[in-house]
A = this chain, B = another copy of it.
Amino acid sequence: MDSVASRVLAVLGAFGADHRNLSLTQLSRRTGLPLATTHRLVGELAAWGALERDAQGRYRIGLRLWEVGSLAPRGLGLREMALPFLEDLYEATHENVQLAVLDGADVVYVERFAGRSSVGVRTRVGGRWPAHSTGVGLVLLAYAAAGTQERYLAGPLARFTDRTITDPDRLRRELAQVRRCGYAVSDGQVTLDALSVAAPVHGTADDVVAALSIVVRAGSVAPAALAPAVRTAARGISRALRAQPQSFRSMEGP
């Protein structure tokens, strides 16, 4: 990490959901770069609009970087195609609706609508969560390439509640079950009060590029009753992606 490009990326990567506003000193400490270097880089980034200053003189991610980031096909691009179907599912249910992709061992949430009278969920757009605990994650793992799945099963499986699946063999059986049913259920595996039903979104090569879920209060509805609505909306998104072929292939390497 000693090229200048890597220093620029280190400055950008220093920001996070819990570190949205950082002083020059904090940036220097979090990146491990000398204060003078940090000062110069931050000046260039702010001049371009990648960073902005808040009223206290601290730095935060700027609108221009958000604009450039919004061009990511797996971020806002996917979300724009999916939005009408998410709206339909939300209007039909008024429950939490979420769209996510797999990145490494995490699901990354690309869109969510929060049902105001539904159960509270911990996700935010742009946020990450370990895949094995969530409905969308179970779908994305179930349809991932064999290598990706094996790497995941070999790693530690964090426990969030008593119901989180932390045994690799049980997770493997669960993923096989998801492929058989065409949808996943995560019941109390993230928080005990929430149940999620998720379905795959297919890309142009029929690979699974995203997953859609609905999250309701555990015990309020039978998962099998939610699956048709979620699968219908997910199929709608898949069809929209196929109609616009260029960008939505899976990121999995050969």
Which residues of chain A from 56 to 100 have any CB-CB distance to chain B below 8 Å in the complex? Answer: 60-77, 80, 83-84, 87, 90-91
Contacts of A242 in B (CB 8 A): none
Given A3-B44, A4-B5, A9-B44, A72 contacting B62 (CB threshold 8 A): yes
A55/B126 contact (C-beta < 8 A), A15-B71, A63-B74, A69-B66 known: no
| Interchain CA distance A54-B246 in the complex, whole Å | 9
- Residue A108, interface by CB 8 Å: yes
| Residue contact B13 to A126, C-beta cutoff 8 Å | no
The complex places the Cα of A64 from the Cα of B254 at a distance, in Å, of 21
Cβ of A247 and Cβ of B21 under 8 Å apart? Answer: yes
Query: Does A145 reach chain B (CB closer than 8 Å)?
Result: no
Copies in the complex: 2
The answer to whether A113 has its CB under 8 Å from any CB of chain B is yes
Q: Roughly how many angstroms separate A125 CA and B17 CA in the complex, as a whole number?
A: 21
Q: Are B76 and A126 in contact (CB under 8 A)?
A: yes
- Indicate whether A239 reaches chain B with its CB closer than 8 angstroms: no
Whether the pair A63, B9 counts as a contact (CB closer than 8 A) is no
Cβ contacts under 8 Å, A101 to chain B = 63
- Complex CA gap A103/B55 in Å reads 17
A:4-25 near B, CB below 8 Å = 4-9, 12-13, 15-17, 20-21
* A5 / chain B contacts, CB cutoff of 8 Å: 4, 7-8, 40-41, 44-45
* B76 and A65 contacting across the interface, CB-CB below 8 Å: no
Contacts of A69 in B (CB 8 A): 61, 65-70
Contacts of A66 in B (CB 8 A): 69-70, 72, 74-76, 126
User: Least Cβ distance of A211 to chain B in Å?
Assistant: 15
A3-B44, A70-B75 given; 13 more Cβ-contact pairs under 8 Å: A4-B4, A9-B48, A12-B68, A17-B71, A52-B73, A60-B72, A61-B71, A61-B72, A62-B72, A66-B74, A70-B125, A80-B124, A87-B113
